[in-house]
Amino acid sequence: MTSSAAGITLASLQASVKSRLETVQGELRRIIRSDFGLIAEVNGHLLQMQGKMFRPMAITVCSAILGSLLLSLTAVPVVSSFVLRRTGAHHDEGWFVRLRTRYLRDLGWALDHPGVTMALALLTVTVALDSAKAITSFKILGFAGTIDENAKTIDLRVPTGTDLSSLVPTITITGASVSPDQLLMDRN
């Protein structure tokens, strides 16, 4: 063992990350804080375990998922075959026969005309995307908000002391301008 490796101990490794771990634990305490006594007590016990139950819990969950998969692939089909035995000849309802006939006819047509099928699909997607509304402007008291379409958020800052209960926004949606008063009148 070299002299530089000999100086590394578990305590020294833990000391280097202790402050960050305490920050994480403090944040966890803040997140799981509850006004209900029982929930607060359970959360306290979970924090005291400090992750010692993660592996057993993960094994339990994985075992439950694998067990349900095995059951659904073996026992359920067998039991279903006994419970749902057919009595006499198989008979489809008239509405189902008509639906299946229509579906098979339309499917055959679509497979025989792939160019038309792709053009209809492209047209459908284009119309759907074109008709989607987007907020292009959001203003309150002349202050414009910053719109982030990806995050679906609007960031708007008003001067300190502004009465927030009386603010009325003006919203522009892909060419149309609306306000909450107009929306309320449209609903009535």
| Sheet of 170-173, strands arranged across | 143-144, 135-140, 170-173, 176-178
135 in Cβ contact with 106 (< 8 Å): no
How far apart (Å, rounded) are the C-alpha atoms in residues 53 and 32?
Answer: 17
Q: Which tens digits make up the pLDDT trace of 48-98? A: 766 666 677 778 888 999 999 999 999 988 888 888 776 666 667 888 889
Q: Which tens digits make up the pLDDT trace of 101-148? A: 999 999 999 999 888 888 888 888 777 666 566 777 888 888 888 888
34 in Cβ contact with 43 (< 8 Å): yes
Q: Which tens digits make up the pLDDT trace of 26-40? A: 777 777 676 667 777
170 in Cβ contact with 185 (< 8 Å): no
pTM, two decimal places: 0.29
Give the start-to-end residue ranges of the domains of the chain.
11-52, 94-130, 133-158+167-187
